[in-house]
Structure 1
Amino acid sequence: MTAAETPLDNPSRTFGRAWEDIRNGFRQRDLWGHLGWQDIKQRYRRSVIGPLWITLSMAVTATGLGLLYSQLLGAPIGTFLPYLTVGFIVWQFILGCVTEGTETFIANEGLIKHLPAPLSVYALRTVWRLTLMMAHNLLVYVIVLAIFFGDLTTPGYIISTPGQPQPGLDWSVLMAIPAFFVLAINGVWVALLFGVISTRYRDIPQVIGALINLAFFGTPIVWTPDLLSRFGGGDWRVLIAELNPIYHFLQIMRAPLIGNTQSWHHWAVVGGITIIGWLLALVAMRNYRARVPYWV
């Protein structure tokens, strides 16, 4: 190798190539769409009710924890159970993007070595599979909404005591659609970035798996930020929730689905994280995209 042939001069290590990989991945939606469907079918092959196990599992978890924590926190079941149910549904999607995203390229080792496809196809496959699972889980939301519709449409309802009055469910529920689109877009860069890093450092999935459990308890899913005011001490306690980036992603979708006050600062935080995350993913794809087939 001559002095001019340094790694930085490698024509495959450019942002143009990285962006082309991502763009071509989105274009091959037939491929990652088919692979995602096959993942769901394979997981529940020979099962009596098939993918409905996803819905049943979510329903049992949300109902059990909702009944338990509503009693422990002294919260009205009619508003707390929908709050917890939607929180769990969105959390499961975020959790899947992070944990399964780290395994995106490792799990697709055979296809990467034998199928000439953009690497981004496998990240999109992961997010599409999680989208299908979320669609099944939303059936639980529809049932809970039908049961507690009167509670959620009452202006000024509270989720827990003490709590801030909420405006109630209205046509702003449609804001959940762009919110999920933003979640999915973030899921792709998470799978790309963590997927590339994890192929090189195989301890990363275990580290993230351990930290994500801590993140669950630190995120307002089975508790509400309003409960922090019970302990006094000033507004600094609100930072426990506000400094948690997962909370903002959770809230942009949960708030419209249950008629909560929608604060645009959540969208601002999510927008900033989206931009930074995609920039980091592009850097990772630029520098290490060509090495992933060797690392897996």
Structure 2
Amino acid sequence: MSASLNERVIPPPPESSDSRTFRRGIIDLIDGLYNWELWLHLGWTDIKQRYRRSVLGPLWITIATGVTAVAMGILYGTLFGFTIKEFLPYVILGLIFWNFIQNSILDGSVVFSTNEGLIKQLPAPISVHVYRVVWRQLIIFAHNIVIFLVVLAVFRPPINWWALLFFPAMALFVLNAIWTTIVFGILSTRFRDISQLTTTIVQLAFFMTPIIWKLGPSMGNRVGSRARLVELNPLYHYIEITRAPLLGEHVEFYHWAIVLACTAIGCLAALVIMRNYRSRVAYWV
């Protein structure tokens, strides 16, 4: 009897869960990329559902952005004393890239709360829904960039080799769209007021970012020097690294440095949030 007691096997201690580790968060992001067929299909389906039963379909994206950009370009160009040839490409590119930023933030902040059914029923990484939002914004961007190609053919802005910087700039836009969707999406799922606050802040940021206005001789030296405070707005630097190369302008290095710093900080914040709250999204939606 005593021998049997001595020979009892002591069970090993339970293994600790790794659900709240950086490793699990990174694996979720990688697994989401491997499910590329799923998020490509979901993103394209979102576009088709939005314009279902319309005659022009997704072309309404291009028409709406084009009409808005032309109207604002003519109006504000006249008010600020700029020529249409100079100001219209500036406004059109500003609106195109701003729409990408704005929609990435606003759509990303509700991506999980609006896909409750899929998250609870579809056994897939939550990053699939993040990539779905980014892919949808790229589709919209592809529709809108056609407007600039038309303006390019009509007004012929001085394009040069600086235009190649557009490609690394767009890569940074995609990275920032991913981390903003993760950060605002997960936090807004837990605290629903964040999405409303985000909408208000984004609307305010539009008027504080040089998209439909810019510094020029007509503003005078005093106003121009005060308006330089706009450089405190990080979104200004994002717009600058994408718009300026396509207008044939040189982009100062500090614009790239600020964008790279914001991207690094944002990606780190996204990893921390994925580590701590990724597994709780399904319970919060």
Percent of residue pairs bearing the same amino acid type: 47
TM-score (norm 1): 0.88
Alignment CA distance shift 1:226-1:10 (3 Å): farther
Shift of 1:225: 3.6
What is residue 193 of structure 1 aligned with on the other side? 183
Structure 2 residue 133 is matched with structure 1 residue 133: no
Structure 2 residue 207 is matched with structure 1 residue 217: yes
What is residue 10 of structure 2 aligned with on the other side? none
What is residue 282 of structure 1 aligned with on the other side? 271
Moved more, 254-263 or 64-73: 254-263
Q: Is the 8 A contact 1:198 1:205 kept in 2?
A: yes
TM-score (norm 2): 0.91
Structure 2 residue 95 is matched with structure 1 residue 88: yes
Shift of 1:179: 0.9
Alignment CA distance shift 1:196-1:170 (3 Å): same
Q: Is the 8 A contact 2:80 2:218 kept in 1?
A: no
Structure 2 residue 104 is matched with structure 1 residue 97: yes
Shift of 1:198: 0.3
Q: Which of these residues, 123, 141, 150, is aligned with residue 116 of structure 1?
A: 123
What is residue 21 of structure 1 aligned with on the other side? 28
Alignment CA distance shift 1:236-1:36 (3 Å): same
Shift of 1:173: 1.1
What is residue 77 of structure 1 aligned with on the other side? 84
Could you say which structure has the larger radius of gyration?
2
Shift of 1:123: 0.8
Q: Where do residues 1-296 of structure 1 align in structure 2 (5 Å cutoff)?
A: 10-149=17-156, 152-153=157-158, 169-226=159-216, 230-232=220-222, 235=225, 237-238=227-228, 240-296=229-285
Paired with 2:270 and 2:244, the residues of 1 have a C-alpha distance of 29
Shift of 1:186: 0.6
1:84-121 CA distance string (max 9 Å, x none)? 00000000000001111100111111110011111111
**Runs (5+) with no aligned partner, structure 2:** 1-12
Q: Is the 8 A contact 2:39 2:128 kept in 1?
A: yes
Q: Is the 8 A contact 1:225 1:241 kept in 2?
A: no
Aligned residue for 1:49, secondary structure, equals coil
Q: Is the 8 A contact 2:215 2:224 kept in 1?
A: no
Q: Is the 8 A contact 2:113 2:189 kept in 1?
A: yes
Paired with 2:193 and 2:241, the residues of 1 have a C-alpha distance of 32
Paired with 1:109 and 1:227, the residues of 2 have a C-alpha distance of 52
CA RMSD, 1 decimal: 1.7
Shift of 1:229: 6.2
Paired with 2:261 and 2:212, the residues of 1 have a C-alpha distance of 26
Aligned residue for 1:46, secondary structure, equals coil
Shift of 1:24: 1.1
Paired with 1:38 and 1:89, the residues of 2 have a C-alpha distance of 22
Paired with 2:180 and 2:162, the residues of 1 have a C-alpha distance of 28
Aligned residue for 2:123, secondary structure, equals coil
Shift of 1:261: 2.1
Aligned residue for 2:62, secondary structure, equals helix
Displacement over 3 Å in runs of 4+:
225-229, 233-237
For 1:72, give the aligned amino acid: L
**Runs (5+) with no aligned partner, structure 1:** 154-168
Alignment CA distance shift 1:207-1:284 (3 Å): same
Shift of 1:232: 1.2
Q: Is the 8 A contact 1:228 1:237 kept in 2?
A: no
Shift of 1:266: 0.9
Report the number of matched residues: 272
